[in-house]
Amino acid sequence: MSSAQQAQKTRVVAAVRGHELLDRIDYRVAETVAEKEAIYQLRYRAYLNEGAIEPNADGLVTDSHDEMPNSWVFGIHVDGALSGSIRISVATPSLPTSPSVDVFPDILQPELERGKVIVDPTRFVADPDRIERLPELPYVTVRLGYIACCYFDADIGLATVRAEHRAFYRRVFLQQPMCEPRLFPGLLKPVGLMGANYREIRDRVYARFPFMRSSAFERRMLFERPAAFAGPTLRSADAPSTAPVNSADCYM
């Protein structure tokens, strides 16, 4: 078996096992200083391991979007241990900012001006000491982006990926390149912007990966914030007054 065939087999097995791993997964929004610092340290180790950043004295990777009201920083805990992380930002006409909007304004701002809701997952990292033993970890981590797309009734789901990963995202998650790679602040390697119309690809992704579906309860637990919280005004697929016709398609 060639190395390419072996890699493809590994990805297929990982996708199948993703559903099994959910029983061992705990998605936690980082809220305390200690929880946030643990994730910033994990980012630093993961980025340094892949040569994406220069060493720094703090041993942390963070930016202003970590504290924005339209961002959720998640730790992915496997068997109780922090094993990965992803940040989900939601850009809307009323709060038109996110990491990718900052770097690709010419591509994304016109979409926001047309009233689109954009889910922007960034800072996707896995513990370099655990990823080889958990090849399905990327799938259950990326799942949070699909949960957010469903909860916020998104028009566009994004992915910011390096050139060598674009074929994987195109093949597996049906996302298409939106422009040439650019440098994100603090990173040494350029990343490309990929995206998809969530409603158009939703059924195909869920048919391929049923574990990407979510319940209304899970979505609220992960993304709902108190009404007094100064977050963006967002339409939600789980709100009866704004539910799209096919919102039930997100459900398990």
Domain count, the chain: 1
Closest CA to 138 of 5, 14, 2: 14
- At 218, which amino acid appears? E
- Asked whether residue 75 is domain-assigned, the answer is yes
Q: For 197-247, what is each residue's pLDDT tens digit? A: 999 999 999 898 888 899 999 999 999 987 645 555 555 544 433 333 344
Domain containing residue 98: 3-223
Q: For 108-117, what is each residue's pLDDT tens digit? A: 999 999 999 9
Kindly report the pTM of this predicted structure. Answer: 0.85
> Residue 169: its pLDDT value, please?
85
- How many helices, marked H, and strands, marked E, lie in the chain? 8, 7
Q: Long-range pairs for 106-115 at CB < 8 Å and ≥24 separation? A: 107/178, 107/179, 107/193, 108/193, 111/155, 111/156
User: Regarding predicted confidence, which is higher, 83 or 238?
Assistant: 83
Q: For 45-60, what is each residue's pLDDT tens digit? A: 999 999 999 999 999 9
- Asked whether residue 229 is domain-assigned, the answer is no
- Asked whether residue 133 is domain-assigned, the answer is yes
Q: What is the CATH number of the domain that holds 92?
A: 3.40.630.30
Closest CA to 26 of 85, 89, 68, 87: 85
3-state SS track over 48-67: HHCCCCCCCCCCCCCCHHHH
Q: Which residues face 193 on adjacent strands? A: 160
- Asked whether residue 233 is domain-assigned, the answer is no
- Asked whether residue 189 is domain-assigned, the answer is yes
Residue labelled with tokens 């590994």: 10
